[in-house]
Amino acid sequence: MSNPFFDLSGRVAVVTGASRGLGQYFGRALARAGADLIITSRTLDSLKPFQREIEALGRNAVPLELDVRDHASIQRMAGQAAKAYPKIDILVNNAGCNVRKPALEISWDEWNLVLDTNLRGTFFVAQAIARQMIPRGYGRIINIGSVTSVFGYAGLTPYTASRGGVKQMSMSLADDWGKHGITVNCLAPGWFRTEQNKVLYENQEWYEYICDRIPLRRPGAPNDLDGAVVFLASEESRYITGQTLLVDGGISTGATRATVAKK
């Protein structure tokens, strides 16, 4: 790279939930910075287009099957990753799901689905990869949270509970694994269009409402996350751990556009 900062050449990154959405945003950014990838999804076929895209950038991409709700699947993926590469330097813990319903309508199974995926799955993937990082004394773990890690939203109770948990869990893991040279941070995007929320963006009234609450007056674009994920994966963040980095256009400030009445 022409810029010596944020160079990930020679690094290997695992990106979970890489068949679509934010997982692909993160994977592209890391590959462009020089990293080789292990990309995961519940189905291998869903990863083939992204694998070809990463290889077109001149980087390697090994697709692996992973269901983060299944402990055996996590262990299997970690073992396959260790065989694919002699080391894992970076983990982007991105796999997640959501159920949008009023709190009174959330079922037991829906609550478990979201928490098992977003919180329990995130922990056990981090644990499995950390076991490979610890003997080397090096690692960068980036757990993907959300603006809902620090904000509450009606209709998103299980999701906000899980993302708030990811934030707190990242702080505890940073304290636990710092002595092994591993940093653990939470990257918390604001409103970015994904498969999970694309129906919202089709509602013009909702879109204008959200833009009105974001100080930069727009939702996030894919490349708005590039700098943050590459920074947290790089040597430039070596003294940053246990932190939550919000990439949200400022919506977490709680700001709204003021309407001044004409006199």
Active site residues: 159
Sheet holding 90-93, edge to edge: 61-65, 36-41, 12-15, 90-93, 139-144, 182-189, 244-247
Neighbours of 5 (CB within 10 A): 11
Strands 12-15 and 36-41 come out as: parallel
Which residues have a Cβ under 8 Å from the Cβ of 171 and sit 6 or more positions away?
242
* Amino acid present at 10: G
Residues 188 and 251: beta-carbon distance below 8 Å: no
Task: Give the C-alpha distances (Å, rounded to integers) separating 239 from 53, 100, 181, 231, 236.
Answer: 32, 37, 10, 12, 8
Residue from 94, 113, 93 nearest 20 by CA = 94
- Distance from C-alpha of 160 to C-alpha of 157, rounded to nearest angstrom: 5
Residues 145 and 138: beta-carbon distance below 8 Å: no
Residue 34, both tokens? 């020089």
Which residues have a Cβ under 8 Å from the Cβ of 41 and sit 6 or more positions away?
17, 18, 19, 47, 63, 65, 66
